[in-house]
Structure 1
């Protein structure tokens, strides 16, 4: 049985399919969203800290066991939320252990539903403890709201608890609730321009793909054409052979 060969119509169909694949537009991957940065423009906190005879300075105030933190700055990520707000000022008092102590550089760290109050702690006659966590804040009920480029974080009546460090260096009063208001302004960074080399590589790749596909299609068509020519030669040679003469029976 002779093998069947692709005819002209089949070869034409192969070329059409290859050319169509080569000319298909290359769809670029969607660009990733530019990162957004939210800068705290105003942070205010009121803590019922329970401390008496506390002397405050800077953006901090103390009255009747309540500490007020004002004019805080920092960063805030609305998702979660997370970030921090730092305040300028000091608190001076005598600790429960009878040691004169100064707290400075208060920082509120926000991590989802958890918060922490950090201070630089300077006990008299001892080394400073930088950014020691003195209390935790339960921010699970804090609410995040957005309006345009403005993000607000509000927490009212959040429970606080002194850490081991806080119980060692703070006053003897019990820690109470914590109210927080944070306002942040968000900006979106401009996407960075692609380097010239990357653009050239992308353009070169876009041109190379159709050329390779067309080349493969042309090679396939050439191989089919060679096979067709060889088949015709074999048929012509077979036709040129003389027919055998059959001797009559005696």
Structure 2
């Protein structure tokens, strides 16, 4: 693959996080950089990165470069499914991963500064997910600390106010996060804190047993176990499957 239009798009945010997790933890891509490009220039940006760092080479060529101890780079674009609703979206985030520092780039080493990925929140791309080791030394994704704290504080505020409709909606939304083990542990912490606060104020009978919290069904709909990148489908089965397909659909729809 040498044409940016052939670049395969990932199907979801979870797919991107899973691919990045594999590349960092299994394949040794420990250097990272997040950058954005104007969406109308995304093809040119991918081409430029390929000219500089060979991000579009075939897997066999990657293996040869790695065996020769040359820098090997990998490029991940934010999935179309998480782009903002504007048409076209204003900018497109890109995650550049490498086995060594790349010349001309301001790369970070994941062991020294955890890889931080973005999501479209509050009208802009904001740091949202952090890839680091857990207490057992395993690489996994966590929510960015300030984002995690905001989600916790919002849940506790609804519980303290007894605003169960807002709490149900909030807890349902939490269930849609990419539940890798780090995120899973943080979301479960929010659930425990909400249960304690809500239960102590509203829903325990004199014996200390739970009555039926109105948000229980929201929690029951959460995934039953942490998300594993093993066996996850990474690429969409329907268009747009490549950057070229997206560009063609976008232009046909009246975009730039």
Q: What band does the TM-score fall into relative to the shorter chain?
A: under 0.3
- Please say which structure displays the higher CA radius of gyration: 1
Which structure is higher in helix share? Answer: 2
Q: TM-score w.r.t. structure 1 length?
A: 0.24
What TM-score does the superposition give when structure 2 sets the normalisation length? 0.24
